[in-house]
Amino acid sequence: MASSCSVVVTAIVVVVLGMAAAASAQLSATFYDSSCPRALSIIRSAVNAAVARETRMGASLLRLHFHDCFVQGCDASVLLADAPNFSGEQGAFPNANSLRGLDVVDTIKSQLEASCRQTVSCADILAVAARDSVVALGGPSYPVLLGRRDGTTAVQMQANIDLPAPTTNLGNLVTTFARRGFNSSEMVVLSGGHTIGAAQCTNFRSRIYGETNIDSAFAAALRGSCPQAGGNANLGALDSTPNAFDNAFFRDLMLGRGLLHSDQQLYAGDGTGTDAFVRNYASNSAQFFSDFAAAMAKVGGLGVLTGSQGQVRLNCSRVN
Ligand code: HEM
Ligand SMILES: *[C@@H]1O[C@H](CO)[C@@H](O)[C@H](O)[C@H]1NC(C)=O
Ligand SMILES: *[C@@H]1O[C@H](CO)[C@@H](O)[C@H](O)[C@H]1NC(C)=O
Ligand SMILES: *[C@@H]1O[C@H](CO)[C@@H](O)[C@H](O)[C@H]1NC(C)=O
């Protein structure tokens, strides 16, 4: 009696421990060291090649990881095409006609599949490619923990809710990031991602024609390429040095040269709101780099699937 009871107890303990292990499996820096030792170098080479072809691709890959992680966690849900049973995130307002780099991710995935079949998740590809992009453009490196698994579903409306819009005011920017556990200075430092890349006219037109907290020469120059009607996809650089990951974005904000309404919201110029953080990062590049790296590591840990959760997709665009 006693022994059969202890067998049952032991079995329950084993099952419970097993469940706990599966549920709480941790990301790890060495996750692919034995299962796919070349994984990190394959991703880095492909990112460097893509950035060498087109510098802006580094910005596009950074944005993909941010948009993945803020919606349903870093589960590569952003990569899922519309499926028979759901409309994916790519059709959501912040993503439609503006996500870039999906082809680069597919190239990386097929190289990884050729090297180690169904081993490296699409979510991990996005996390590593974002870091390698930042490094390729001169920004800080930071360790990326690995072992994320890919999700099996996506909800288009969730991307509209969870991602900030260029029309967003400071209060709602703070709220959107607070919902994911980021305070106001982390929101500001992450917005520093706009030190690289570009935005389309449709996303800054109302700012350059209608707003008053904008440098007039800056606005006038942009009106040349972003007309009041038409040219919706014409590009404007997000800061004065869009090919370099540097702290110019913050100095530009202090000059009224934020391209997006949402970016200029970070700096009022009267010491209120998040002005102090902008001033700090504008004058202290090392602080920007180290705070950005820390915040990105935190972004990469949002809502991750680990252990036996989710799956490793074979094709990043669809569930296996
Ligand atoms: C703070 C709230 C944010 C808002 C409202 C916002 C909004 C936008 C918008 C509207 C664009 C231009 C899209 C287009 O015109 O096609 C853009 C581009 C970009 N965003 Fe953000 N974003 C935010 C935060 C972030 C964060 C946290 C990161 C990364 C850490 C990031 C990285 C980028 C990059 C790199 C680009 C340029 C992409 C390219 O050139 O392909 N953004 N963002
Ligand atoms: C859609 O189907 C996939 C299987 O192909 C499943 O894993 C997923 O949960 C489904 N999503 C919804 C929203 O029903
Ligand atoms: C936000 O959180 C970071 C990381 O924990 C911390 O270093 C920073 O001081 C916080 N900022 C504010 C405004 O509380
Ligand atoms: C991956 O899946 C997408 C969406 O179903 C499909 O269009 C594409 O052809 C697939 N790619 C490969 C290499 O099979």
pLDDT tens sequence across 45-93: 999 999 999 999 999 999 999 999 999 999 999 999 999 999 999 999 9
For ligand 3, mutation pick of 170, 182, 185 (most atoms within 8 Å of CB): 185
Is 94 marked as binding a ligand? Answer: no
Smallest CA-to-CA distance from 281 within 259, 270, 266, 268 is with: 266
For ligand 2, mutation pick of 75, 86, 317 (most atoms within 8 Å of CB): 86
Q: What's the pLDDT at 196?
A: 99
| pLDDT over threshold 80, residue 10 | no
pLDDT in tens, 183-202: 999 999 999 999 999 999 99
Q: What's the pLDDT at 6?
A: 43
Instruction: Tell me how far CA of residue 224 lies from CA of 83, 93, 196, 202, 217, in angstroms.
Output: 41, 26, 21, 14, 11
For the packed helices 57-70 and 102-115, what is the interaxial angle rounded to 10 degrees? 80
Q: State residue 83 phi and psi, 5-degree precision.
A: -120, 170
Q: Which residues line ligand 3 (CB under 6 A)?
A: 183-186
- pTM confidence score: 0.94
Q: Which ligand is nearest to the CA of 113?
A: 4
Q: Which two tokens stand for residue 243?
A: 């090919």
67 is annotated as an active-site residue? yes
Which atom of ligand 4 approaches the CA of 316 most closely? 1
Q: Which two tokens stand for residue 121?
A: 């998740």
pLDDT in tens, 275-309: 999 999 999 999 999 999 999 999 999 999 999 99
pLDDT in tens, 120-157: 999 999 999 999 999 999 999 999 999 999 999 999 99
Smallest CA-to-CA distance from 58 within 244, 238, 295, 208 is with: 244
> Angle 267-273-279 (CA atoms, 0-180°, nearest 5)?
45
In angstroms, what is the span from residue 317 Cα to ligand 4's centroid? Answer: 6
Whether ligand 4 lies within 6 angstroms of the CB of 81 is answered as: yes
Is 164 marked as binding a ligand? Answer: yes
Which atom of ligand 4 approaches the CA of 81 most closely? 4
Element (H, E) at 286: helix 285-299
For the chain, list the domains and their CATH numbers.
28-163 (1.10.520.10), 170-296 (1.10.420.10)
Q: In the structure, what pLDDT confidence band is assigned to residue 16 with cuts at 50, 70 and 90?
A: very low
> Angle 36-42-48 (CA atoms, 0-180°, nearest 5)?
160
Nearest CA to ligand 3 atom 1: 183
Q: Which of the following is catalytic: 65, 67, 251, 261?
A: 67
Q: In the structure, what pLDDT confidence band is assigned to residue 25 with cuts at 50, 70 and 90?
A: confident
Q: Average model confidence (pLDDT) for the chain? A: 94
pLDDT in tens, 216-246: 999 999 999 999 999 999 999 999 999 999 9
Q: In the structure, what pLDDT confidence band is assigned to residue 14 with cuts at 50, 70 and 90?
A: very low
Q: What's the pLDDT at 7?
A: 41
For ligand 4, mutation pick of 108, 117, 318 (most atoms within 8 Å of CB): 318
Smallest CA-to-CA distance from 122 within 100, 134, 106 is with: 106
